[in-house]
Structure 1
Amino acid sequence: MWLSFRFPLGFREVGELVLERGMIVSCGTVRRWCLEFGQQYASGLRHRQSQPGGKGHPDEVFIKINGERKYLWRAADQDGMVLDILVRSRRDTAAAERFLRTLLTKTGRVPRVLVTDKLRSYRAAHREVMPFVGHRSHKGLNNRAENSHRPTRQRERAMKGFRGVGAAQRFLAAFSGISPHFRPRRHLMTGTRHRAGVTVRFAVREQVTGVTSRPAAA
């Protein structure tokens, strides 16, 4: 199951990788595995992460679902950790307020400062939901959230789009917790540190999923 979230593959390619381990499954079976265990896997990884930073970077990007434009709202901290996502049909104040409220509920923490772009809906939602939190509105300061959209774009292309709002919400909620685990900030690490970090991340993956490494061939 974790393979379909870890790599930019389709269900058919994942089925072939599972077949290599000696199991015969259909694409539908892999899809059901993802729906049943994906969020559980993502939650287990999030519980092992450090506490989010004091800066919240909410941002929104449009996605196409069955040819209709929808908006993916996403918040990340200053280190790039994805805090929450929400798929909505609109890009207005009501949607911004809904997103900020769910962000507070899910993280259980109040950010020290909110960094957004120039969208006016953020200002109105900030005054309504968290007026006691500092707010900085500047497009150049919100690059952290802008960069966090890239893995989603890659998966969107690999999956040839999403089929429904509910399906997109379920998948991206799990994917946003799984993908960063396997995407360390490589440009800030030495080769030795990166290899050690990847080894630890795969060990954590095995603890969360209960999957053991494939035994070496004799």
Structure 2
Amino acid sequence: MRRKPGSTWHLDEMFVTLRGEPYLLWRAVDEHGAELDVLVQKRRDKAAAKRFFRRVLRSIPVPRKIVTDQLRSYPAAKAEIPEPAQVKHIFVKAAARVNNRAENSHQPTRRRERQMCGFRDVHRTQAFLSCFGPIRQHFALPRHRMNAACHRAILKERLAKWYDRTVSDISTKII
């Protein structure tokens, strides 16, 4: 279901409110717009950035380039972890629009947050957002590039693939 991750990571963080308290949602997106990982944390310091890097590196190989905003905890954390220490790091200003890939990846989360009338629990939010990104990417199609018949055919194919994977997983657990 998931394509091979790109060699450029776009990292960004956004504030979400859980029961009236601000938390940070750290997000890594590759050059194709595929969400690599998310992590909900209370802090925005070097330790939090280090925890996020370690989490992403558990499942995805080291990139060639990392694009971030001007937050200084990214390079400090990156320097302490051996794998990404030599990776090229690019800082961008928010006005430069170079990190738009990461900024735009927050939109579905904001939409979902509004639909759910806000998130409530840190652990449930983390679990939901970790699953929500890959599922959404599986069904999100570049609608502006295809006609209706093509869209229906691809969506039907993806629904069949989804059905095969989920039903086969459920049936093996029941037996």
Under a length normalisation based on structure 1, what TM-score does the superposition of the two structures give?
0.70
1:181 to 128, 138, 144: 138
CA displacement 1:93-139 (0-9 Å, x = unmatched): 111111011100122x1111111111111121222222111111113
Work out which of the residue numbers 158, 164, 169 in structure 1 matches 2:121.
Answer: 164
Q: What pairs up with 1:136-215 in 2 under 5 angstroms?
A: 136-139=90-93, 140-187=97-144, 189-191=145-147, 192-210=149-167
Q: CA deviation at 1:50?
A: 1.5
Instruction: Give, as a single letter, the amino acid of the residue that structure 2 aligns with 1:131.
Output: A
Q: Cα 1:202–1:123, aligned 2, differ >3 Å: closer, same or farther? A: same
> After TM superposition, what 4+ stretches of structure 1 lie above 6 angstroms from structure 2?
none
Aligned match of 2:72: 120
Distance 1:120 1:193 in 2: 45
Higher-Rg member (1/2): 1
Deviation at 1:193, TM superposition (A): 4.0
Whole-angstrom CA distance in 1 between matches of 2:142 and 2:76 = 34
1:59 match: 12
Q: What is the number of equivalent residue pairs in this alignment?
A: 162
Q: Give distance in 2, aligned partners of 1:207 and 1:201.
A: 10
RMSD over aligned CA atoms reads 1.5
**Identity over aligned pairs, percent:** 48
TM-score by length of 2: 0.86
**Is the aligned partner of 1:106 residue 2:59?**
yes
Q: More strand by proportion, 1 or 2?
A: 2
Please name the residue that 1:78 is paired with. 31
Secondary structure at the aligned position of 1:176 is classed as helix
